[in-house]
A = this chain, B = another copy of it.
Amino acid sequence: MALAAVHENSLTAFENLSSLVADSMRLVDGLIDDHLKTDIPLIEQIAKHIIYSGGKRLRPALVILASHIHGRVSAATIALAAAVEFIHTATLLHDDVIDESDLRRGMPSAHTVWGNTAAILVGDFLFAKAFELMVTTGDLRVLQILSKTSAIITAGEVRQLMESHSFDLSIESSLQIMGAKTSELFGAACQTGALVAGATDQDALDFYRYGYNLGLIFQITDDVLDYQVINISRGKVPGDDFREGKITLPVIYTYQTASSQERDFLNRTMVELNQTDEDLNHIRHLIEKHQGFEKSLSLATDIMQKTHLIINKQSTFKPLLKGLLVECLSRNK
């Protein structure tokens, strides 16, 4: 399957990736549509609503890129890309139910109840369909990697619920939870995309590490962005993590050097969830004061630099791969 060439041009790395995978992505969309057809229209409606709701489709794009770099994009690549998108969508659906039903948020409102039921079941359906798609690759390694990844994602969600509502959470634990919940699927997308294109196990593992680290950088900048005023058109409402009491890197760093009075504020607002309208602005100032954003982004920069070592042996695609890391990190600018 021929892919568009990567032009040395003024486009961003993400724009280059988009253009590189555009034709393949149309095939992925077709396969997704085929696999959502059942005699129950509700399933198709809900699944499509989530899948086509403006997500970045980064994970299937990484599968396609991985196959392209390590051989060629085949029917197995397309099936795998659709499967990875299904797994991602299933975890999004279940996370929504869980965030909703989290005790800290109080009682779910009545109008969300059918929504929850549908979200659980459509999530289960997508997960099952993901495995059906993977089977069509005929490659047991793919199934092994992605079933393990699915278990890790879920265990990460459990750990997040248990640990991420307290300032006892360490930087290391926070990175592990992020790793399980976000990075593993980025990594698995890269690794399996490479494997089905004929990469050696070692090359595929290197590409797993690239994807894993890209996922970490992506999530760290996401957690920073959540405290910054951003364009509403991106679909994210800033302050969600604060309102939900989700302890992320910027506030962990802040807590480490905060005064006793500042810690009381952090505990009241983020652990007891006793918040007033002014508190979001105040915590932004606190994070700035304690360099919580800088320290978070500095950690992401360290990860990026380690990742450069992994991709140094790439020749043609090194600029694109480096560009994706840099642009993931610079989203906060």
Task: Say if the beta carbon of A138 comes within 8 Å of chain B.
Answer: yes
Q: Is the CB of B140 within 8 A of A135?
A: yes
Residues of B within 8 A of A237 (CB): none
- Interface hits, A87-135 → B, CB 8 Å: 94, 97-98, 101-103, 107-108, 110, 113-114, 116-118, 120-125, 127-129, 131-132, 134-135
B135 touches A138 (CB 8 A): no
Tell whether, in the assembled complex, residue A125 and residue B40 are in contact, meaning their CB atoms are under 8 Å apart.
no
Q: How far is the CB of A46 from chain B (nearest CB, A)?
A: 10
Binary contact track A128-166/B, C-beta < 8 Å → 1, others 0 = 110110110010100110011011011101110110000
Neighbouring B residues of A117 by C-beta, 8 Å: 98, 101-102, 161
Docked Cα-Cα span, A25 to B98, in Å, equals 34
Most B Cβ at <10 Å: residue of A102, A118, A127: A127
Contact (Cβ within 8 A) B124 A94: yes
Instruction: With A42-B162, A121-B157, A155-B43 as known contacts, state yes or no: A128 contacts B101, CB within 8 Å.
Output: no
* A contact patch SS: helix
State the Cβ distance, A190 to closest chain B Cβ, in Å: 19
In the assembled complex, the Cα of A312 lies from the Cα of B97 at a distance in Å of 49
CB distance from A146 to the nearest CB of B (A): 8
Size of A's binding interface in residues, CB under 8 A: 48
A39: chain B residues at CB < 8 Å are: 155
Say yes or no: is A314 at the interface (Cβ < 8 Å to chain B).
no
Q: List 13 A-B contacts (CB under 8 A).
A: A38-B155, A40-B159, A94-B120, A94-B124, A98-B117, A103-B113, A103-B114, A107-B107, A121-B161, A123-B124, A124-B127, A134-B143, A134-B147
Rank and list the top 9 A-B pairs by shortest CB-CB distance, nearest first.
A131-B147, A128-B150, A128-B151, A125-B154, A132-B147, A124-B154, A135-B144, A98-B117, A135-B143
